[in-house]
Amino acid sequence: MVFVNEAWNQTGDIVVYSNYHKYWLDRERKIKNPLFDVYSGKILDLKEGKMSAVQYFYQLLDPEIRSGVAICVVPSSNSGVKESGIGKLGEMLAGNGRKNMDDVTTTGNYNIAVCREDDERYPNELRNLKGMPSLLYYKGNIEIINQHKNIAAIGSRTLSEQGSKLAYRTGIKIAEEGFNLVNGLALGCDTLALKGALSVNGKCVVFLPCGLDRILPASNQELAEEILEKGGCLLSEYPEKTAVQKYRYVERDRLQSGISQGVIVIEAEQNSGTMHTADFAMRQYKRLACYAYSLLQMSSGNQYLENTGKSTVLHDETGLAAFLDNIKQSQSYEQMKLPF
């Protein structure tokens, strides 16, 4: 089936990414193949139409396929299969307009580019963690992520008056101490922390749960532009035109903590999305801090983190300064590769 046009690119190139190894050596005797690997498993998932596998191979193939080629899909040998993962993959590749991802695509006043895992600009902190994307889409200056240490300052969209003040002042302090400020551009805490950092010309790194051809929330369009104007960076693991889905917020959260040397929860209820990032931080062995819940009004999440004993409790700016100084003085270390 031809999805894009009728002309093949005439290169004749055949690219083999890896060998496929079947799962069973002997199905009847239940003898598994010791060569069966993750890649082979992804191929089986693709045949079953699992979107996680479709997305995996999309990210693998999309940057390699040049513009102006035909995307062809070989139908299943099983006549009963009407829709397969291969078909979905072909539609995604064709629907992206076929372009060389080594070239940048202009969106608004800034460019969307791609950073692959083998690029020296790829965030070093992500290299040590399992389940990280093989490439990142970005606008702005991605190099700042490896040039400076990163602190995620996060919290709920709905804040108390004291929480709002702490968010803004925390953003200022993080920037003044020479860290990049990381979060997800959400309303409430994220926005206030970003504005605080930008007020002292700090560098900000933002992960979006959608393609970078749009800003989410739309009301933060000007804030996103200011981040770029002041040398910051917007990132996503999703290509252009990828719509936001609820699960993508959670996937985004693992990247916020993943690139950061420390995570600070400013104010959050226990059922808020902020707790996903805090949970990832603990599982990734990141340094975690939260403001004392007794200082705040909407802070059941802070109370939970205090009770775990895994979070440094901040009572004032002196505590914040000590937490940041501890990270500033610490040496980077090889983290464990965790199965999540």
Give, for all 340 residues of the chain, the pLDDT tens digit.
333 333 334 444 555 666 777 888 888 888 887 887 877 888 888 877 787 778 778 777 776 666 666 667 665 655 555 556 777 787 777 755 444 333 334 344 347 888 888 889 999 999 888 888 888 999 999 999 999 999 999 999 989 999 999 999 999 999 999 999 999 999 999 999 999 999 999 999 999 999 898 899 999 999 999 999 999 999 999 888 888 888 889 999 999 999 999 999 999 999 888 999 999 999 999 999 999 999 998 889 999 999 999 899 999 999 999 999 999 887 644 343 444 4
Helix 51-61 to helix 38-47 angle, to the nearest 10 degrees? 120
Distances (CA, A) of 153 to 91, 204, 226, 253, 319: 38, 11, 18, 12, 15
Concatenated DSSP letters of 297-318: SS-HHHHHHHHHT-SEEE-SHH
Closest listed residue to residue 281, CA positions, set 304, 296, 262: 262
pLDDT of residue 106: 39
Q: What is the pTM of this model?
A: 0.67
For the record, the structure tokens of 183 come out as 């979060």
CA 329 to chain centre: 26
pLDDT of residue 40: 80
pLDDT of residue 31: 84
Q: Which domains does the chain have, with CATH numbers?
A: 24-95 (no CATH), 105-329 (3.40.50.450)
